[in-house]
């Protein structure tokens, strides 16, 4: 598998409504290696792709997903006339895509629903389950289902604009030397770092859409870059991979 990997954060969110099927399709068209998304559970047990726990920001609906049926959630317009897809719809409509799925909802617990869905669709090998909540990761790993699917290591620190993602759903990504207390038993580490100081007077951290800074992060050994705008970052990866290919000839 190629490394490093280009992660499309909520799809091609810079072009299409985030976390929608058109956004994910567009990201793949730009050459994204992995689609990043977040999931919540409806009141009738459907796993829905959404970053937020409610429809306030995306659809102007002040209702929590966990308290709504799928039928109600499907009436919400989250931009451009599009609706929140279920995780099953994404897996079925994009059968070759690799996914990094952040299990957001903690109450009620949705981990077994997600794991069962992956088993039923035989999608375990192309989906990495991640969470920034240790308890959620523990539930994923201790699922009653035999041989739990690959899972990532989360953390308690606030998210940074740049994240180093897993190398694959089935192999441990290169991690920073610092040990993580819950890393044992997980197949990948999803770390959040102050990757590269912005080479501009205003300071800050790596811009998810800046090709020059993406290149700098790769030069430092990043296994992957997560971006809202894969169209802007994909050329950096294409150039790097051509160079790698030429060195192996």
**Which residues on neighbouring strands pair with residue 103, listed in sequence order?**
39
User: Which is catalytic among the residues 9, 30, 46, 186?
Assistant: 9
Q: Residue 249 and residue 243: Cα distance in Å, rounded?
A: 10
Decide if 51 is catalytic.
Answer: yes
What Rg do the C-alpha atoms of the chain give, in angstroms? Answer: 18
Decide if 186 is catalytic.
Answer: no
Q: Residue 190 and residue 215: Cα distance in Å, rounded?
A: 19
User: Which is catalytic among the residues 30, 51, 83, 186?
Assistant: 51
Task: Select from 233, 242, 247, 174 the least CA-distant residue to 9.
Answer: 233
Q: 34-41 and 5-9: which strand pairing?
A: parallel
Q: Residue 213 and residue 199: Cα distance in Å, rounded?
A: 8
SS (H, E, C) 110-147: CHHHHHHHHHHHCCHHHEEEECCCHHHHHHHHCCCCCC
Residues with active-site annotation:
9, 51
């Amino acid at each position: 598998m190629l490394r490093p990997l280009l992660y499309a954060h909520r799809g091609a969110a810079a072009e299409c409504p985030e976390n929608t099927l058109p956004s994910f399709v567009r990201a793949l068209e730009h050459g994204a290696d992995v689609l990043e998304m977040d999931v919540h559970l409806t009141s009738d047990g459907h796993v829905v792709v959404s970053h937020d726990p409610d429809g306030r920001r995306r659809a102007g609906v002040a209702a929590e997903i966990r308290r709504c049926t799928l039928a109600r959630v499907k009436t919400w317009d989250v931009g451009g006339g599009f609706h929140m897809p279920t995780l099953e719809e994404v897996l079925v409509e994009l059968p070759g895509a690799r996914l990094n799925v952040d299990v957001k909802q903690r109450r009620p617990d949705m981990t077994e629903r997600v794991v069962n869905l992956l088993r039923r669709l035989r999608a375990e090998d192309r989906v990495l389950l991640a969470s920034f909540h240790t308890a959620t990761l523990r539930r994923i790993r201790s699922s009653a289902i035999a041989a739990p699917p690959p899972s990532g290591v989360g953390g308690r620190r606030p998210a940074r604009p740049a994240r180093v993602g897993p190398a694959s759903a089935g192999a441990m990504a290169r991690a920073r030397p610092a040990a993580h207390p819950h890393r044992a038993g997980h197949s990948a580490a999803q770390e959040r770092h102050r990757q590269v100081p912005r080479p501009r007077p205003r300071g800050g951290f790596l811009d998810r859409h800046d090709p020059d800074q993406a290149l700098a992060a790769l030069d430092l050994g990043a296994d992957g870059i997560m971006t809202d705008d894969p169209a802007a970052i994909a050329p950096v990866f294409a150039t790097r991979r051509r160079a790698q290919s030429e060195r192996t000839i």
